[in-house]
Structure 1
Amino acid sequence: MDNSEENMIELHGDEEIIEVIDLNETEQGPDDLADDLEDVDFEDPGIGDEDNEGWETEDEMEAEAEQDDSELTFSKHTGPVFCVSLDPVTNSLAVTGGQDDKAYVWRVSDGEVLFECTGHKDSVTYAVFSHDSSLVASGDMSGVIKVWKVETKEEIWSFEVGDLEWLEWHPCAPVLLAGTDDGNMWMWKIPGGDCKTFQSPACQATRGKVLPDGKRAVVGYEDGTVRLWDLKQGNTIHVFKGHDGHRAAMTCLACNKDGSLVLTGSVDGTAKLINTATGKVVGTFPAEGGKPKGSKDEEEINFVESVGFCDILPLIAVAHLDGTLAIYDLSTQALRHKCQHEAGIVHLRWEESSAVVSTCSLDGALRLWDARSGNMVSEYHGHTAEILDFTLNREGSIAITASGDNQAKVFCLQRPDR
């Protein structure tokens, strides 16, 4: 890979491809942007009393495993469920994808399947609704991407890229973006399929997100580099690498409500705060926990697994592989709370209108934490394997989880203030 900063900054998309996005330089609302984009082993208990004690212990274990706090279980998948998304308009439909090479769109209220997303050749790792809930995109590990119209339950577009690393809809237009293991970011207008590519050195584009203004996208790469792309011009606005970038692969990223700040997490154990206007790294947050549980390698680093911004308070959250959830004050960058889990954290999500942050972990539990006090306010069980993904509705009253036990579950969330 060419590490020349000049080369990285001057990278452009494939100029041979017709540009279909026309994003103005002036401030625009969602409708304007949408219009623009239109153009573009138990121990042996023995005998006697010990035998009875052994059976009691087994019964207790079984009872614990049977605890299920969920309101509904979706069990159509025949393999681990890797992803889940909730339709953003009504919050009444969910889509899940799994190792069985299938995705299902189903009703949250009763689990009834509306339709199945068929035709995938590998595990479906991404399944997401468009901004207006009219479309669903499903993508598998082999790079097959399909788009379905919810109203008619029909496939309206498909494409095949290299191994898929991430998949996301534009926040206010029928435009789909994806990152692949060859380092490219792709952008398509749906259903027409007009395409634009954003090329970078041969290094996996591990994570990506379109910023709220709809004009820019931030992408993290396997070498720790972070690039801020102009979606109209197809070039990089800022490149973060070397001392500013991460020392290892990007694992996660998030942006605040107005897109002025981006938070990134990495295999190197740190999270970084980036100002998207100035192109400066304005904060670095080191690993707050120890080595991952069960780690035998003294050099093994406590990966950052998930990051996120609170919408109503100047707080951020960083989740680590060892089960540490660190809450920081954004203005002072001081550690406010450490919320410890018994198992590694997979994902975190902030509620839209509160200071509650939810986590899912490898022990199969969903937990809610009050970021103001650092206390756990509730926890929910029901899965018999790790939770691999989850999502929340707008009110923070419902969570839908996807698990390695081949199930998705709907939980009604209760808190003291409700």
Structure 2
Amino acid sequence: MPSDTPEQQKLLIKTSFKTVKTIESIYTGGKVDMSEDQQWMVSTLNENIIITETATGQQLHELEGDTEIITTLAIKPNGDHIVSASRSLTLRVWDRVTGQCVRTMSKAHEAPIIVMAMDPTSTLVATGGADGTVKVWDIDKGYCTHHLRGHAGVISAVKFLQYRKKWYLASGADDCVVRVWDLQTRKSVAVLKSHTSVIRGLDFSSDGKTLISGSRDRVVNVWEWQQQKLKATYPIFETLEVVGFVNQQADFSQYDMTPKSDVFFTGGDKGSIRLWDVSTGKMIKEQPHELNSKHTISDVLYSPHAQQLIAITNDQNILYYSIADQLKRVKQVVGYNDEVVSVMYLGADDTHLAAATNSEQLRIYDIETQDCDLVYGHKDMILCLDRNKQGDVLVTGSKDKTARIWKIDFTQQDTDRRYVCLGVCIGHTESVGAVAIARKSNQFMITGGQDRTIKYWNLRDLNFSVTSSAEPLPHAKALYTHQAHDKDINTISVAPNDRVFATGSQDKLAKVWNVDTGELLGTCKGHKRGVWCVRFSTAEQVLATSSGDKTVKIWSLKDFSCLKTFEGHSNSVLSVDFLTAGLQLVSSGSDGLVKVWTIKTNECVSTLDNHTEKVWTLAVRKDEKFIASGGADSVINFWQDVTLEEQESDLREKEEFILKEQELQTYMKKKDYLNAILLAMSLNQPFRLLGLFREVMETRAEDDQSSISGSPAVDTILAEMPSEHLEKLLTYIRDWNTNAKYANVAQTILHAILSSHPPDQLVGLAQAKEVFDSLLPYTDRHYQRLDDLITQSYIIDYTLHQ
């Protein structure tokens, strides 16, 4: 290895990192609800419930369930409490602020609760069960107020209505019947039959006179429920999962068609939200189509406060659509990331993070707010990412056998302009598992994958100044294709000078190639398992590789020999990169760990542990202040370099220690025993304290026979010592007492403590039993002349054992 340059010698070796931010899953399917002001979101994560602050994406609480799947939940309109139901048939009420369960109602139904609705006053909750019954509960008092029977199947929808100062409840079931209940008389006042499949959505108009019902029979029925009259049936041409009214104050000024009456929305297996005129049944607007999207909608939340419709999709995403802006998608929350296989910083200042997560959607997070943009384009899972030096061009490789080139502009408000697909690379016959773009320009990129070939793509003809995606997309041209390896290509990296590139494969080899000609320049042989990652140093003529053989190796680019091997991971090393101008490495592996290495010493100087499964990917921010890691546990961790802060903190502590040492010597010279004792204890210096007590005993005044320690001032200090200092002092005495040379001092100070503190106070000390159990045998053996001390000790010992 070349010797360190003066510039490198000045660099601070990184030794300390801490996790400062985490992007985790919040939703794995099931029910989602929001507070009326849209500040809090509640979602199901396996058997638990997650409360999230929507503005920041911060998880406020994880409510631990009862190990059974959560079947449904709802948040009070006032946001104070959350009600949840699980397959254990238990109904629970949670305090939203503290995250504590404040009430549990066991066996709420005879079968699991399927649906739930809150009344607008936050007083009542209606539950519909698989037992065919509907119940109404007083949330705060915790008892059932109504038990409504009449359906012949699983309850699938419930909705409250306050009409003419009376309360009603509508319910639907898989018996295809809608019932309306008068909650004052507890009787069914309307039985509405027309649907031929399970009822999935119910809602009342703002005047309370009209009820709409949506079913999986692909139609919406409009009812005058008081007369039990079917007013209209509208074919929707999709299997419906939700219907609901939009209030009359909604802004439809930008729409081509002005609604003539109330407007309702629908969502279902088509995967799009649509708005309809209730009087005509005509569609007013359908949300813009997402390219290559395959999701369906399982639920839609309506926020009158923000005038938004929030779609819950079957691929665990939460999509916000603005009603005033013609159902344009304005925000998205990723509920579940699956395995995070690749991450990459983006933006001029690395303000965003792109993530590939076993999904065809590219996910780009605003790191500060954790807002996530979903970028559609690929038809199958995205497997790999790379970016140019400026962070405004991203390339992606996918299981759909293509690679795409994206222009990124975070100054654009419109998502379609923020992420523009400039072109697509078509030619591989299998999945594209590795991509790399030029470091110094945007003129070329290299791809490789399961077909074992590498392709050089000319990007010079692409228009990097366009502001929207073209239809059809331009195709990049492959200038050469070579059979590069005997097995799948896992990784590609382009050198900082754009002259050579390296590939790594499952065939255990890393190879270095000429960019212009595709000529093989050298092969790095030595790994015993497949090579997962290759990276060029920005400072030296070396290449780093990580492998399934649990090692990281550094290779010379002059003769392709192995210069160093780093061993420390207990499983495959999946990713590696250079740090600190080539002086260090960072690696991640299947053991769930991220490790930082100093190359010169081969030493692992830091091990970062906040993943529970394999860590697939690493991304180093340009200033190296942060490292992002993503893994199979669906978690993205952000690690901050705190080496300088810790060194400064250590330096301050050393300076403070020296000053306190000087103070201690001054106090002892002045015989200021109170401050000397307290300072010695704060410095955690039992030996200095022992010397102080010995000095006090040895300098006892001839006419002083009354003090136990040798100084009335010290006796007073020991008598007035608070419990936390007393407990620490007793542990010191215990240790001193084990040495016959110090036993005399230890027993004298112990005698002073026992003589001035009541047994009840000593027994109340947190570690009293442990300390006195160890002290009493030494007390008997070393210092039996102190009869009072022994007597008091046994009193305490007796008290402790009762």
The TM tier, using the shorter chain, reads 0.5 to 0.7
TM-score normalized by the length of structure 2: 0.34
| CA distance in 2 between partners of 1:129 and 1:381 (Å) | 21
Q: Percent identity?
A: 19
Determine whether 1:120 maps to 2:66: yes
1:237 Cα deviation from its structure 2 partner: 0.8
| CA distance in 2 between partners of 1:125 and 1:169 (Å) | 16
Call closer, same or farther: CA 1:142–1:311 in 2, change over 3 Å.
same
Determine whether 1:267 maps to 2:216: yes
| CA distance in 2 between partners of 1:217 and 1:386 (Å) | 38
Does the Cα contact within 8 Å between 1:357 and 1:371 map onto a contact in 2?
no
Does the Cα contact within 8 Å between 1:325 and 1:340 map onto a contact in 2?
no
Does the Cα contact within 8 Å between 2:116 and 2:127 map onto a contact in 1?
yes
1:232 Cα deviation from its structure 2 partner: 1.8
Call closer, same or farther: CA 1:404–1:264 in 2, change over 3 Å.
farther
Call closer, same or farther: CA 1:151–1:141 in 2, change over 3 Å.
same
Determine whether 1:98 maps to 2:62: no
1:147 Cα deviation from its structure 2 partner: 0.3
Does the Cα contact within 8 Å between 1:141 and 1:164 map onto a contact in 2?
yes
2:148 to 179, 186, 198: 198
Of stretches 314-323 and 361-370 in structure 1, the one that deviates more from structure 2 is: 361-370
1:308 to 244, 252, 263: 244
Does the Cα contact within 8 Å between 1:81 and 1:404 map onto a contact in 2?
no
| Cross-structure match for 1:348 | 300
Per-residue CA deviations over 1:174-205 (Å, capped at 9, x if unaligned) read 22210001110111213332322101244111
How many equivalent pairs are there?
308
Call closer, same or farther: CA 1:200–1:410 in 2, change over 3 Å.
farther
1:85 to 26, 33, 49: 33
Call closer, same or farther: CA 1:97–1:204 in 2, change over 3 Å.
same
Which runs of 5 or more structure 2 residues have no equivalent in the other structure?
1-20, 249-258, 339-356, 374-412, 416-802
Of stretches 311-320 and 335-344 in structure 1, the one that deviates more from structure 2 is: 335-344
Call closer, same or farther: CA 1:323–1:117 in 2, change over 3 Å.
closer
1:86 Cα deviation from its structure 2 partner: 2.2
| Cross-structure match for 1:248 | 197
| Cross-structure match for 1:3 | none
| CA distance in 2 between partners of 1:329 and 1:376 (Å) | 15
Call closer, same or farther: CA 1:275–1:153 in 2, change over 3 Å.
same
| CA distance in 2 between partners of 1:132 and 1:181 (Å) | 28
Does the Cα contact within 8 Å between 1:147 and 1:155 map onto a contact in 2?
yes
| CA distance in 2 between partners of 1:126 and 1:111 (Å) | 22
1:368 Cα deviation from its structure 2 partner: 2.9
| CA distance in 1 between partners of 2:358 and 2:86 (Å) | 17
Does the Cα contact within 8 Å between 2:57 and 2:371 map onto a contact in 1?
no
1:248 Cα deviation from its structure 2 partner: 1.1
Does the Cα contact within 8 Å between 2:42 and 2:52 map onto a contact in 1?
yes
1:386 Cα deviation from its structure 2 partner: 9.9
| CA distance in 1 between partners of 2:273 and 2:53 (Å) | 32
Does the Cα contact within 8 Å between 1:365 and 1:379 map onto a contact in 2?
no
| Cross-structure match for 1:143 | 89
TM-score normalized by the length of structure 1: 0.63
| Cross-structure match for 1:222 | 174
| Cross-structure match for 1:61 | none
| Cross-structure match for 1:329 | 277
RCO (CA 8 Å, sep 6+): is it higher in 1 or 2?
1
Does the Cα contact within 8 Å between 1:317 and 1:326 map onto a contact in 2?
yes
Call closer, same or farther: CA 1:117–1:370 in 2, change over 3 Å.
closer
1:105 Cα deviation from its structure 2 partner: 2.7
| CA distance in 2 between partners of 1:356 and 1:116 (Å) | 26
1:349 Cα deviation from its structure 2 partner: 4.4
1:18-417 matched pairs, under 5 angstroms: 75=24, 77=26, 80-88=28-36, 91-99=38-46, 101-159=47-105, 160=107, 161=109, 162-195=111-144, 196-213=146-163, 215-241=167-193, 245-288=194-237, 302-312=238-248, 314-323=262-271, 325-339=273-287, 341=289, 342-343=293-294, 344-352=296-304, 357-362=309-314, 364=317, 366=319, 368=321, 377-378=328-329, 383=334
Higher gyration radius (CA): 2
| CA distance in 1 between partners of 2:80 and 2:120 (Å) | 13
1:378 partner letter: R
2:43 partner letter: T
| CA distance in 2 between partners of 1:187 and 1:122 (Å) | 23
CA RMSD in angstroms, aligned pairs only? 3.8
Call closer, same or farther: CA 1:135–1:222 in 2, change over 3 Å.
same
Call closer, same or farther: CA 1:248–1:113 in 2, change over 3 Å.
same
Call closer, same or farther: CA 1:324–1:170 in 2, change over 3 Å.
closer
1:263 Cα deviation from its structure 2 partner: 1.7
Call closer, same or farther: CA 1:336–1:119 in 2, change over 3 Å.
closer
Task: Give 3-state SS (helix, strand or coil) of 1:233's partner.
Answer: coil
| CA distance in 2 between partners of 1:355 and 1:114 (Å) | 25
Per-residue CA deviations over 1:358-379 (Å, capped at 9, x if unaligned) read 545446573636589xx55336
Call closer, same or farther: CA 1:266–1:179 in 2, change over 3 Å.
same
Task: Give 3-state SS (helix, strand or coil) of 1:228's partner.
Answer: strand
1:328 Cα deviation from its structure 2 partner: 2.3
1:108 Cα deviation from its structure 2 partner: 3.2
| Cross-structure match for 1:38 | none
Q: Which structure carries more helix by proportion? A: 2
Task: Give 3-state SS (helix, strand or coil) of 2:30's partner.
Answer: strand
